[in-house]
Amino acid sequence: MGKLMPSTLTHVQHVQGVKDTPSQPCHKDVAWLAKLDIQYPIKYAEREIIVRPKPGLERRSLTKINETLFAQSQELIASKDSNLELQKCKPPLVLDVPVFPTAPVNASTMVFGMATTLERLDDSRHHIARWLAHTKAKMFVVIIKPEKGTEASDEQIAVKQGVMRDQGMDITLVRPLTKGELYTESYFSLVRVMYTHRTDASSWFVLMDDDTFFPSMQALLAMLGKYDSKEQYWIGAVSEQWWSVGRYGWMGFGGAGIFLSQGLAAVIDEEYDICITEMHKAAGGDERVMRCVYGHTETKLTYETGLHQMDISGDLSGVYESGRFPLSLHHWKGGDYPVDLMSLISDICGDCLFQRWQFGVDTILSNGYSVVQYPEGEYANGLDFRKAEETWNSVTIEASVNPGTWHSMAPSRPRLELDKQKIQYRLVESASIESGVRQTYVHKGKEDGDPATVLVLYWRRENSTP
C-alpha cells in the first residue's frame, strides 16, 4: 500500500528522462460533448493517461514531468461532430502511482452514525456508497422528522434501507431513541445507538453529517492505525476558521467526522444519562459530545489535520489545489464541488485524488479538480507550491495573532488573479467508461466572444484495454 505523506512538508518528485513526445493525427468520438453546457465553437484537446502502480513509491504533493500535457487545441465547430480527426494528438502518457488496493478494504472495525431526514439521506446515498459500500463497515442512521413536511413512515424507511443495502452498504435506519427529540439530541444519541449495536470487531465509532465525504477508507484506516482503540481517544478536526474555534471551543466539529475509540465510547455510554441532563443549553450535536467528554473524562481532542470541517467560504480552489490529501470533506451539498465525480479517479489510481503533476513550467494538474496554466511559466517558476493559495474568504479576529486560518491551512500564500496570473480549467464532468475514467476540464473563456476551452483526460490502468 502506498504511504500517504504528511501534507505540510515539501514533497516534489522530479521525473527524469521524459522527453516531449511528438503529436500525430488521431480519430476520436466526442458525441458525449453534446450534454455539456457550453457554446460552440470550442477549443478542444485531450490526452490518454496510463496509470502504473509502482511498489515502494510514496504519494507526492507535486511530481514534475518534463513534457507538456496536451497538444495544441483544435477548434470544434458544432457538437454534431461526433467523430473527428484531431490534427494533433499526443501519445498516451504513463504516470507512476503508489500501489493501491483494487478491491474494497476491510473496515469492519468502524461503525458510522448520522442523524438526518429520509429525503436528505436519499440525496447523499450515492456519495456514501462511494466509500462505504462493500467495506464491511457498519452505519446507523437516525431518521428524524423534517422541519417542514410529514414524518417518514415505517414502510418508507424500510424501502430506503433495502435500496442502500442493495448498493452494498451494511446500513440500518432507526427511529430516534426519544420521540420528538431535536436533531442535536439525535446526533448525540448516535453514540449510544452505535455502541449498543457493536460487535466484537467494533473499535471505532464515527459521528458524521449527511454531507460528510470520506475520499478513502484505506486512508482512514491508516490514520486510525496510529492509535490504540482500547485507550480513550477523541479524534477530529477543529474549524478551519479561528473565530469558530474561539466561539465553540477546541472540539471535533461534526462535519469533519468525529472518531471515538472503543475505550472512550464505553465511558460516554456509561455517562450517557448524566450527560443528557447537563446539556440543555448545548447547541450543536458535536458540542454535546465535547461537553460530555470534557465533563466526564480527562481526554482531550486529538487533531488530525487531514480531516476537514470546510467552514471556509468563497472559492475553495486553494484547498483542492494544495496537493494535500484530505481524509474528509464537508459542505458539498448545493455547491460547486461534486465530490462524487471528483473522486471517480480513485477507481483508477487509488489515493491520487487531488494529487498534482506539473507539466513543463506552466501547467499543473490537480487530479479531479483542475488544470491550471500559468502564463509563460513566469508565475510557476516563482511560486512555492508547498503553500496553499489563499483563495478562500478568511475571517479575522481583532487582536488575534492568527490571521484566520494559520492553524488549519498553513503554509499558505496570497491568491493569484484569475485569467491573468492563473488560467483555471475546472472539472465539470467525470464518467466511468469501459476502459477507465474520463475527466473533462473547462475554461469558459476570458470574455464575451472568447471560445471555451475543453481539456479531456482519459485514464486507465496499465494492461487494461483502451
pLDDT band at 1 (very low <50, low <70, confident <90, very high): very low
The C-alpha cell that represents 325 in the structure block: 490529501
Cα separation, 248 vs 303, in Å, equals: 15
Predicted pLDDT of residue 11? 53
pLDDT of residue 149: 83
Percent of the chain residues topping a pLDDT of 70: 89
Judge whether residue 383 has pLDDT over 80: yes
User: Residue 348 pLDDT more than 80?
Assistant: yes
- Structure confidence at residue 4 (pLDDT): 36
CA angle 329, 334, 336 (to 5 degrees): 70
Taking residues 165-169, what's their average pLDDT? 98
Listed in sequence order, the residues at least 6 apart from 368 whose beta carbon sits closer than 8 Å to its beta carbon are: 342, 343, 344, 345, 353, 354, 427, 430, 439
Q: pLDDT class for 73, splitting at 50, 70, 90?
A: confident
Can you give the pLDDT at residue 27?
64
pLDDT at 137 > cutoff 70: yes
- The stretches of 337-463 forming alpha helices (DSSP H) are 339-342, 346-349, 378-382, 406-409
Q: Which of 35-49, 163-177, 251-265 has the lowest mean pLDDT?
A: 35-49
In this prediction, residue 8 carries a pLDDT of 34
Beta bridge pairs of residue 141: 114, 173
Where is average pLDDT lowest: 72-86, 415-429, 438-452?
72-86
pLDDT at 308 over 80: yes
Given pLDDT bands bounded at 50, 70 and 90, which one contains residue 381?
low
pTM: 0.92
3-state secondary structure of 376: helix
Note whether 41 and 83 are within 8 A (CB). Answer: no
Nearest to 42 by CA among 3, 95, 78: 78
Give me the pLDDT at residue 81, please. Answer: 56
What is d(CA 99, CA 279) in angstroms, rounded to the nearest whole number?
47
Highest mean pLDDT among 11-20, 71-80, 87-96, 213-222: 213-222
Locate all alpha helices (DSSP H) within 44-151, ordered by sequence: 118-132
Q: 6: pLDDT confidence band, cut at 50, 70 and 90?
A: very low
84-93, 129-138, 321-330: least confidently modelled range: 84-93
Q: Mean pLDDT of all residues in the chain?
A: 89
pLDDT: is 76 or 211 the higher one?
A: 211
